[in-house]
Amino acid sequence: MDDVEINLKLASLGCLNDSVAGEDYIADYILYRLNKSHLYTYVKTLNLSSPTNNISQISQHIGEIIEKKWNSVDPVNCYKIFINQFRMGFFGKICFDDLSNVIQLNQLNDYLLSYPDNINLILLLSNNTTR
């Protein structure tokens, strides 16, 4: 993984200033990751006819909706809307990190991850490891 992808992950999550990373790049990366993970909730949320790999098409679609209310549309604002919808969780949950090695090495405790009632045990374990 290179620095560009790390920066796009961080920017997608709001850890970097959007204008520094570029709203169009952030939106395109989010769309790429949603499609790669087969998370097509954005299609229904944005009332699109089908999934797409083209962030410009999504931006244009958002722009058409905005244009009905306001006369002018800034494409950057359309990207911002898409990014904010993602950050608010409207497109579903996604993990940008590759956990395949962790899962293969059986380093995740499925019992603790599957049962939120065990929060006290999780807190106890985390307190013991943070000394």
pLDDT at 115: 46
pLDDT, tens digit, 9 for 90 and up, residues 4-60: 899 999 999 999 999 889 999 999 999 999 999 999 999 999 999 999 999 999 999
How far is it, in rounded angstroms, from Cα 89 to Cα 91?
Answer: 5
List the domain boundaries for the chain: 3-95, 98-131
pLDDT at 34: 96
Which residues, 6+ apart, have CB-to-CB distance to 46 below 8 Å? 58, 61, 62, 82, 85
Average confidence score pLDDT of the chain: 82
The residue type of 64 is E
CATH match for 3-95 among 1.10.760, 3.10.560, 1.10.1580, 3.30.70 = 1.10.1580
How far is it, in rounded angstroms, from Cα 112 to Cα 110?
Answer: 6
